[in-house]
Each structure stands twice: as structure tokens, then as C-alpha cells.
């Protein structure tokens, strides 16, 4: 194990962040790299618990004490092999995962937990620098072909695993670049895009084929794809945003968060946007509605645009005293402070949006809100109650709706194939049914199946779905394991 007394000697330390005033002027990642000695010291804090709860805290089941021990021994190759045996893309999760493993770390009971996420990032970066992360194509091919639709983390993980098993895999992506929300949702200050490009190069060298500008159910025939392949994986994400249909919604200056973030990611990537209506926060009072990760990314992006002011409001009040604080909705998500909030933002909770107010030209000028609190309805159920006298007008010229996503798009791909949906209108394909949809040889993984979630869950589902597809193609046991051999 790592130093048995490490946790007694060292406290948790994270890499330095670039100063706010500097990082607000660019799109680069905001954490400095973690120096090697510091990573080793941090890894030494792992207690190698008899029952490592961090394993089960991580949806991928990452074998955390083992890779911490390898880091402590300065065996970066071994650390990378252990980490990548359960996680295809530690360079993504090491940057943007909310790290449920750290919440499960036993040291966290009476000390700050082990800095697992940053250790993971360091292992991945050391592996790329030292040449341990290199193409590992399968020794032989099975002669079976699989089409993966969608190139977000779920599709990429499924593709990587199915290719590893020897199947011929083509990933179809309707956008012009690969990566899904890693590319078009998450801003560069959290994940610079060369990190995705580097991984795609590796996957191409291993034999995975990528087809961009390929909208399956649009310019690519979905039924033909099913006919011509031995299996198909649907990994198209959850893309339909939740709206706020208050009065005045048609005012100019109200946009969904993803319209704003996608355009900005394209601008930062150098795409030609001359034909696109510009959504920019420069010199505006920006109001972000929604307190989660997407809202925080709008805050960070607006500040980098040079917004005059940025305010983020969230409808959810703190949970009532008699309610489990971890119950729906996920309270810690809306209470979490992201690095974007450090860069300048007013935050308020328990604020209900009542009306969008326009000027004579139809442009948004303010939002009328009222504060709310928990109360009871006539049946005794918890409900929101408006607090009289708290009505306000919040001036804003740009309003970004970051109120979550309802379900995947049904038009096109899903309707054409006629796949069954679950009660939440996501694709019905449960793990108990091997990620299989109602359509023979069509499987599903990631946000398209489970609803909006996290990158780590998308990777986990992509891997598990690939095992099911592999078993289906072999007509028996899959050669893929939850933990890869070598």
C-alpha cells in the first residue's frame, strides 16, 4: 500500500488555479498541472481501506487504492494500466468528473478526502507524455460490424471496447467534430479540445472509423444502417432542453444554454460563424436560470465574454427540514460552487421566474421574479409557496435557460427506427435487458438511455453496453470484462 501513515503526515492539496483576472481573459484550462512530487504525496494519503468504498462510489468501479499505490511507488506505467483497465478516458474524468469517488473516500469522514480526481488526471497526462498511452489494436478481427451513433463519451467508450473485442466499428456523428458534449457543451476552460483530439487519434490508430456530418435518420438512412451492420448502438445523448414557458418568453435575448455554449465552443475552435446569429454576453447584464453544471458553464463563459454583470438563479429552495437532503433533486449539485462562480457571479436560490419583460422593440430588458419557500398543499404534500412582498425586476439583456434536459430528440433517428421509450421518454434499454432496445440488434447507452447525467456514467454505460453487444454477436459470453486484462 501507499505510505501507511501518509494521511497522518500530509493534508489534501490540489493544483494551483490560474489567477481569476488572467484566466478570465482566455479559454485555457484553469488548473496548473500537478507537479509529480505533489501527486506522489497526495497518493500517499490513500489508506488502502479493507473495504474501499471509493470503488463503489465510482460508476466505473475504478480500482483507486491500487493506482494510488503505484503512483506512490512512482510506477506510472502500472498506475496507468490499472486506471485504464476500468476507464477508457481518464484524461476526461480526471478533469471534469464531480468525483463521486471522493465523496465515498473513507478518509473523508474526518479529513478532506484523497485528491483522487487530480491523481487520475496526472496519471493520464504522465502516460501520454511517457508514451505508455499508445494504440493497442486487436490481434484479430471477428468479421462483425457495429455502427455506433453519437460520439459523446458513451459512444466513444462503446466503440473503444467493441473495437478491442475485434469487431469493426464505425462511429457516426452528425456534428462536424467528434466528442458530443465534451466538444460542444463543456467549455475549454474545463476541458481543452486537444485532449479529445489526442484520444480520437489513438482510437483511429486502433482501427475505429469515424464519420462526421452524418446525421443518422437524416442524411444517413437509419434502417439501412441497421440492415448493413451486425449491431447498432444508439448513443445520441439527451438533447431536448427544459423550457421556462413564462409570459414574454418570445422576447429577443432569451436562449437555451446549449445554443450559447455550442456557439461559443465553435467560435473558440475557430469555426466560421458568419452565417449564425451571434449570442454574446459582452457589456450585457446576464441572467442564468438553473443552478447546475450547465448554468455554471454559462457563468464562466459570460464572464470571459466581458458581461457587465452575471446573476444565476435557481428555483429550488434548500430542502425542508423533514426531507432527506440527498433526495430528488440532487441538492448538492445546485449547492456546489464551481470555479466559474469564483470569477464573478451573484447566486440566489428559491427564486421563481414569473415573467420576461420586453422593451418596445421586443428585446428582453428584465425578468420579474418572486422568492419562494417550502410549504404544504391541501393534501399535506411539500410544495412551493410565494413569499409576499419579494417581487422584483432583475434587469437583463441576455437570459440563458439552463434548466436541464427532458429526453433525447425523437424526430429522425428514434422515430424512424421505432424504438420503444420509457416513462421519461428516454430510449427503453435497461441494464437488466442487456441495454437492448425494442428493435432487434439495436442497443442504447448514455444520456439517450438514462437521461441527462455525467461523463463518468456515459463511459460506464458505453462499456457495459459494449459487453452486451459483444455477447450478442458471439452468441454467448463476452470476451470483454468490467476490468480489462492488459
Applying CB under 6 A, which residues contact ligand FAD? 96-97, 149-155, 172-175, 180-181, 185-186, 190, 214-217, 235-237, 258, 261, 293-294, 297, 412-413, 446-448, 453-456, 458
Q: Is 12 within 8 Å of 114 (Cβ atoms)? A: yes
- Choose between 351 and 454: whose C-beta lies nearer to ligand FAD: 454
Closest CB 143 distance from ligand FAD, rounded Å: 25
Compute the distance between CA of residue 159 and CA of residue 459 in angstroms, rounded to an integer.
Answer: 11
The helix (run of H) or strand (run of E) holding residue 296 is helix 293-305
For 21, the 3-state DSSP assignment is: helix
Closest CB 412 distance from ligand FAD, rounded Å: 5
- Rg, Å, the chain Cα set: 23
Closest CB 118 distance from ligand FAD, rounded Å: 15
- Choose between 155 and 166: whose C-beta lies nearer to ligand FAD: 155
Closest CB 438 distance from ligand FAD, rounded Å: 18
Closest CB 322 distance from ligand FAD, rounded Å: 31
Closest CB 160 distance from ligand FAD, rounded Å: 12
In 3D space, the residue among 292, 185, 244 whose CA is nearest the CA of residue 399 turns out to be 244
Closest CB 12 distance from ligand FAD, rounded Å: 20
Query: Order of strands across the sheet with 168-172?
Result: 209-211, 168-172, 145-149, 231-234, 442-444
- Choose between 45 and 190: whose C-beta lies nearer to ligand FAD: 190
Compute the distance between CA of residue 435 and CA of residue 433 in angstroms, rounded to an integer.
Answer: 6
DSSP string, 218-269: TTB-HHHHHHHSSEEEE-----EEPP---BTTTSBTEEEHHHHHHHHHHHHT
DSSP string, 38-83: HHHHHHTT----SS-HHHHHSTT---HHHHHHHHHTT-HHHHHHHH
- Choose between 38 and 255: whose C-beta lies nearer to ligand FAD: 255
Going by DSSP bridges, is the β-strand pair 392-395/364-376 parallel, antiparallel, or unpaired? antiparallel
- Choose between 69 and 461: whose C-beta lies nearer to ligand FAD: 461
- Choose between 297 and 470: whose C-beta lies nearer to ligand FAD: 297
- Choose between 228 and 377: whose C-beta lies nearer to ligand FAD: 228
Amino acid at each position: 500500500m501507499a505510505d501507511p501513515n501518509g494521511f497522518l503526515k500530509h493534508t489534501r492539496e490540489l493544483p494551483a488555479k490560474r489567477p481569476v483576472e488572467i484566466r478570465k481573459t482566455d479559454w485555457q484550462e484553469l488548473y496548473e498541472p500537478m507537479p509529480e512530487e505533489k501527486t506522489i504525496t497526495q497518493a500517499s494519503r490513500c489508506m488502502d481501506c479493507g473495504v474501499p468504498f471509493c470503488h463503489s462510489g465510482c460508476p466505473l468501479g475504478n480500482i483507486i487504492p491500487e493506482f494510488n499505490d503505484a503512483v506512490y511507488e512512482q510506477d506510472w506505467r502500472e498506475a496507468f494500466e490499472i486506471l485504464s483497465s476500468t476507464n477508457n478516458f481518464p484524461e476526461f474524468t480526471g478533469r471534469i468528473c464531480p468525483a463521486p469517488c471522493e465523496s465515498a473516500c473513507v478518509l473523508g469522514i474526518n479529513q478532506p478526502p484523497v485528491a483522487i480526481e487530480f491523481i487520475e488526471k496526472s496519471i493520464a497526462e504522465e502516460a501520454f507524455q511517457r508514451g505508455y498511452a499508445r494504440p493497442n489494436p486487436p490481434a484479430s478481427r471477428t468479421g462483425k460490424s457495429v455502427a455506433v451513433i453519437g460520439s459523446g463519451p458513451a459512444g466513444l467508450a462503446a466503440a473503444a471496447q467493441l473495437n478491442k473485442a475485434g469487431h469493426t466499428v464505425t462511429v457516426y456523428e452528425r456534428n462536424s467534430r467528434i466528442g458530443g458534449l465534451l466538444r460542444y457543451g463543456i467549455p475549454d476552460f474545463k476541458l481543452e479540445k486537444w485532449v479529445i483530439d489526442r484520444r480520437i487519434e489513438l482510437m483511429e490508430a486502433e482501427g475505429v472509423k469515424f464519420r462526421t456530418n452524418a446525421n443518422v435518420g437524416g442524411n444517413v438512412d437509419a434502417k439501412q444502417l441497421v440492415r448493413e451492420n451486425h449491431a447498432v448502438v444508439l448513443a445520441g445523448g439527451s438533447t431536448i432542453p427544459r423550457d421556462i414557458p413564462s409570459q414574454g418568453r418570445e422576447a429577443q435575448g432569451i436562449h437555451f444554454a446549449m445554443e450559447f455554449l455550442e456557439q461559443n465552443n465553435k467560435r473558440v475552435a475557430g469555426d466560421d460563424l458568419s452565417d449564425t446569429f451571434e449570442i454574446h454576453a459582452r457589456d450585457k447584464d446576464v441572467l442564468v436560470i438553473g443552478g447546475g453544471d450547465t448554468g455554471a458553464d454559462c457563468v464562466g463563459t459570460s464572464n470571459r465574454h466581458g458581461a457587465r454583470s452575471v446573476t444565476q438563479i435557481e428555483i429550488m429552495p434548500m430542502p425542508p427540514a423533514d426531507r432527506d437532503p440527498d433526495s430528488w433533486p440532487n441538492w448538492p449539485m445546485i449547492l456546489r460552487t464551481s470555479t466559474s462562480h469564483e470569477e464573478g457571479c451573484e447566486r440566489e436560490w428559491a427564486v421563481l421566474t414569473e415573467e420576461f419583460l420586453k422593451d418596445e422593440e421586443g428585446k428582453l430588458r428584465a425578468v420579474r421574479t418572486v422568492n419562494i419557500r417550502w410549504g404544504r398543499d391541501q393534501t399535506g404534500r411539500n410544495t412551493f409557496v410565494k413569499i409576499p412582498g419579494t417581487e422584483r425586476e432583475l434587469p437583463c439583456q441576455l437570459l440563458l435557460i439552463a434548466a436541464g434536459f427532458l429526453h433525447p430528440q425523437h424526430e429522425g433517428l428514434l422515430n424512424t427506427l421505432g424504438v420503444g421509450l420509457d416513462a421519461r421518454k428516454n430510449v427503453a434499454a435497461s441494464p437488466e435487458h442487456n441495454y437492448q432496445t425494442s428493435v432487434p440488434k439495436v442497443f442504447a447507452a448514455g444520456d439517450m438511455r438514462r437521461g441527462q447525467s455525467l461523463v463518468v456514467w456515459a463511459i460506464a454505460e458505453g462499456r457495459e453496453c459494449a459487453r452486451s453487444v459483444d455477447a450478442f454477436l458471439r452468441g454467448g459470453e463476452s470476451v470483454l470484462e468490467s476490468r480489462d486484462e492488459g
